[in-house]
Copies of this chain bind each other. A is one copy, B any other.
Amino acid sequence: MPRTDGGRVVADLRRLAEFGRYKTGVHRPTYSADDVASRQWLADKFSEAGLDPVIDGIGNVIGHDPRASRRLLVGSHSETQPHGGWLDGALGVVYGLELARAFAADPALAGLGIEPVAWADEEGHYGNMLGSRSFIDTLADSEIDAATSRDGKTLRTALTEAGYAGRPRELLDPARYVGYLEAHIEQGNTLEATGRKIGIVEAIIGNWNYWVTVTGEQNHAGTTEMHRRRDAGAAMVRLATRIDDCFAEIAAPRTVWTIGRMLLDPNAPSIVPGRAEMQVQFRDTDTGILALFEARLNELVAEANARGPCRVAIEPISKSTPAAMDAGFQSAIEVAAESHAAGLHLRMPSGAGHDAQILSRRMRSAMMFIPSINGVSHHWSEDTSDEDIALGAQILADAAAAILRAG
Contact = CB atoms under 8 A, between A and B. Distances in A.
Contact of A244 (B234, B279, B353): B234
A141 B122 CA distance: 56
Q: Is the interface of A mostly helix, strand, loop or mixed?
A: mixed
A87 to B, nearest CB: 14
Query: How many copies of this chain sit in the oligomeric assembly?
Result: 2
Interface string A201-236: 000010101000000001111111110100101101
A221 B260 contact: yes
Given A207-B222, A375-B223, A270 B241 contact: no
Contacts of A241: 237-238, 241
A254 interface: yes
Given A188-B223, A222-B352, A351-B223, A270 B262 contact: no
B262 A219 contact: no
Contacts of A49: none
A219 B260 contact: no
A189 B224 CA distance: 8
A143 B72 CA distance: 70
Contact of A281 (B228, B269, B283, B379): B269
Interface of A: 186-190, 205, 207, 209, 218-226, 228, 231, 233-234, 236-238, 240-241, 244, 248, 251, 254-264, 267-273, 279, 281, 283, 350-353, 375, 377-379
6 contacts: A220-B375, A221-B256, A233-B262, A238-B241, A258-B269, A271-B378
